[in-house]
Amino acid sequence: MSNSAPIGVFDSGIGGLTVVSELMRLMPGEDIVYLGDTARVPYGVRSPDTVRRYAAEGASFLRDRGIKFLVVACNTVSAVGLDEVARHCDVPLVGVIEPGARAAVAASKAGHVGVIGTEATITSRAYVKAINDIDSSVKVHGNACPLFVPLAEEGWTEGEVPRLAAERYLEGLKAHGIDVLVLGCTHYPLLRPMLALVMGKDTSIIDSASETAREVRDTLEKDGLANEAEQGRASFFVTDSPEKFQSVGERFLKHNIKDINKVVLKEVC
Amino acid sequence: MSNSAPIGVFDSGIGGLTVVSELMRLMPGEDIVYLGDTARVPYGVRSPDTVRRYAAEGASFLRDRGIKFLVVACNTVSAVGLDEVARHCDVPLVGVIEPGARAAVAASKAGHVGVIGTEATITSRAYVKAINDIDSSVKVHGNACPLFVPLAEEGWTEGEVPRLAAERYLEGLKAHGIDVLVLGCTHYPLLRPMLALVMGKDTSIIDSASETAREVRDTLEKDGLANEAEQGRASFFVTDSPEKFQSVGERFLKHNIKDINKVVLKEVC
């Protein structure tokens, strides 16, 4: 595998751009190929079977782009379909859950960790398993927050509506005495300032996106696969129209987005 | 075509059940075959091209069920893909936009009508065209309300969060002096009491779902195609897992839902 091959990033839509943003910051020399399945987003409300079917198609597509490493930047796919991704894309890969789980265990003193995410991610109990594999004494409290994705996409990241929604979703977690809150969905970093406000300053907020980017950098360096080029290129593939991806995506990426291509994913078995 | 053939109802997900609920109330003898494309919902955030592709697949599926009449219960498909549906399903059909537009024109005295719906529906200007085809002097003011679908699905139909979201979305429409508000999305009837509260008693609220059901009844009676059986049967086809469809859907339908089958829609050209 060549150092100059691109890193593949797979997400259900635009949320994974928060991971790309961190990758670009930490590893400016890397080429990145991003796939967002915008014609079928969001995955977080779908059944595990359907998510796995879509994950297989996305993984096959990125495999065919000649990537050296695959980042599954979608919590839902990481939670219920990582094995299916590995089955269809034979390169080293990382999901967003393990890095987030490790950071959460390291940060918690109270031994109570809160995790918020999509319905599919929370129902899968993937964070509970990942955290308890590291430290079985940590109590993990999960809550699905279905309104956070549309709020982030709508750009309503501050003000009364998101604050009241957050208070309602986080009330139960606060009652458990958590001192760490894991953002188990790549849309949620956009709501981070507001979530920090609602949780108060004694709660550490773990952003899976940046933890994952750090792990990608460490792994590529360890394996001698890092690209030391001065400036990498990023190309983007989406399954619905590029226009909306560009306008909403630039808010997530904090960068201009060029080179967006529309593709149809092929069914695989 | 036989009177005893079922009525087909096509929607992107569960919202169309508000139309089914009205059909059952007005025409209890009819058999109904419902298709909800729950593996790819929501359509309202997608591009017209993608919606039309999905619409063709749904229409073909229902055609093959031997329906006598097709109700396109999804505003987004009605707005951007009704011709594509007709191309793939050769039975009389009705969308939800024309009936809503007719009722809006009849109800408005001020000559200012507000329409709320998904981004795709509002961007298409389908309600503007339909209303102005009837009365070109009526001013139509549209606004997309992307948070209303997740709010309805989450069951947050009253309380501060939906009220504040509604105030924010409806502020501009109120400023135009509308006296009629068209609910241009089949999820919105669940929010109707709250929307009525925010708009005040001088605004008539038009529910496309019930207007459409009335039109279906009138058309079937006129064409001699009504089914006078005592009690019709309803069967449901979905593209994702039946479990969630059942639990959320029963809130929309206000009835028990049985006989749910999972299907994969075939690509058509």
Residue B94: its pLDDT value, please? 97
Shortest distance between the Cα of B242 and any Cα of chain A, in A, equals 9
Helices B160-175 and B192-199: angle between axes, nearest 10 degrees: 50
- Residue B62 DSSP one-character state: H
For residue A36, the model assigns a pLDDT of 98
Give the per-residue pLDDT at A76.
96
**In the Cβ-directed half-sphere of B1, how many Cα atoms lie within 13 Å?**
20
3-state secondary structure of B14: coil
Q: Is B143 left (phi over 0), alpha (psi -120 to 50) or beta?
A: beta
* pLDDT of res. A268: 86
Q: Hey, is the C-beta of A40 within 8 angstroms of any chain B C-beta? A: yes
Beta carbons of B50 and A241 less than 8 Å apart? yes
Residues of B in contact with A49 (CB under 8 A): 241
The span from the CA of A51 to the CA of A47, in Å, is 6
Report CA-CA distances (Å) from A129 to A98, A140, A173: 10, 9, 18
Mean pLDDT over the full length of chain A: 96
3-class secondary structure for A204-239? EEEEHHHHHHHHHHHHHHHCCCCCCCCCCCEEEEEC
CB count in 10 Å sphere of residue B227:
18
On chain B, the residues whose CB falls within 8 A of the CB of A50 are: 39, 239-241
- Amino acid B151: pLDDT: 96
Q: Is A64 part of the contact surface with chain B (CB cutoff 8 Å)?
A: no
Residues on chain B touching A147 (C-beta within 8 angstroms): 147, 150-151, 154, 156, 161
Give me the pLDDT at residue A254, please: 86
Active site includes B89? no
End-to-end CA separation in angstroms for chain A: 26
Residue A191 has pLDDT above 80, yes or no: yes
State whether B164 and A168 contact (CB < 8 Å): no
User: Quick check: A165 contacting B, CB < 8 Å?
Assistant: yes
The SS3 assignment for A16 reads: coil
pLDDT at B244: 87
In this complex, the residue of B47, B161, B241 whose CB is nearest that of residue A165 is B161
Predicted confidence (pLDDT) at residue A68 exceeds the cutoff of 80: yes
As given in the structure block, the two tokens for residue A130 are: 């990942």
The residue of chain B nearest to residue A151, with distances taken between CA atoms, is B147
The pLDDT assigned to A212 comes to 96
Nearest CA in chain B to A165: B161
Its pTM stands at: 0.93
Residue A202 touches chain B, beta carbons under 8 Å: no
Contact residues on chain B for A168, CB-CB shorter than 8 A:
161
Between CA B187 and CA B88 the distance in angstroms is: 26
> Which residues of A are annotated as catalytic?
74, 185
Instruction: Judge whether residue A267 has pLDDT over 90.
Output: no
Give the per-residue pLDDT at B174.
97
Q: Give A79-130 pLDDT, tens digit per residue.
A: 999 999 999 999 999 999 999 999 999 999 999 999 999 999 999 999 999 9
Give B205→chain A minimum CA distance, Å: 24
Confidence of residue A21 (pLDDT cuts 50, 70, 90): very high
Of B149, B152, B144, B150, nearest to B117 by C-alpha is B144
A247 interfacial to chain B (CB closer than 8 Å):
no
String of b and e for A58-70 (b: at least 16 CB within 10 Å)? bbbbbbeeebbbb
Calculate ∠ Cα B21-B25-B27, nearest 5°.
110
pLDDT at B268: 86
Task: Give the helix/strand (H/E) hosting A117.
Answer: strand A112-117
Residues of A in contact with B45 (CB under 8 A): 41, 153, 244
The answer to whether A150 contacts B146, with C-beta atoms less than 8 Å apart, is: yes
Question: Quick one: pLDDT at residue B35?
Answer: 98
Tell me if B147 and A154 make a contact (CB, 8 A cut-off): yes
pLDDT at B221: 96
Q: Best interface-test mutation with A: which of B161, B238, B239, B265 has the largest number of A CBs within 10 A?
A: B161
Instruction: Please name every residue paired with A143 in a beta bridge, in sequence order, or none if there are none.
Output: A116
Shortest CB distance from A46 goes to which of B161, B165, B240?
B240
> CB-based contacts of A186: which residues, under 8 Å, 6+ apart?
A11, A15, A16, A17, A18, A19, A73, A74, A75, A96, A208, A209
Q: How many helices (H) and strands (E) does chain B have?
A: 12, 10
Q: How far is A225 from chain B (nearest CA, A)?
A: 37
Q: What is the pLDDT of residue B252?
A: 87
pLDDT digit of tens for each residue in chain B (269 aa)? 799 999 999 999 999 999 999 999 999 999 999 999 999 999 999 999 999 999 999 999 999 999 999 999 999 999 999 999 999 999 999 999 999 999 999 999 999 999 999 999 999 999 999 999 999 999 999 999 999 999 998 999 999 999 999 999 999 999 999 999 999 999 999 999 999 999 999 999 999 889 999 999 999 999 999 999 999 999 999 999 999 899 889 988 988 999 999 999 998 86
Pair type for strands A32-36 and A234-238: parallel
Interface-testing mutation among A76, A123, A158, A240, with chain B (most B C-beta atoms within 10 A) = A240
Domains of chain A: 7-95+211-262 (3.40.50.1860), 97-209 (3.40.50.1860)
A-to-B residue pairs, Cβ atoms closer than 8 angstroms: 66
- A117-160 confidence digits (pLDDT tens): 999 999 999 999 999 999 999 999 999 999 999 999 899 999 99
- B248 to chain A: closest CA residue: A45
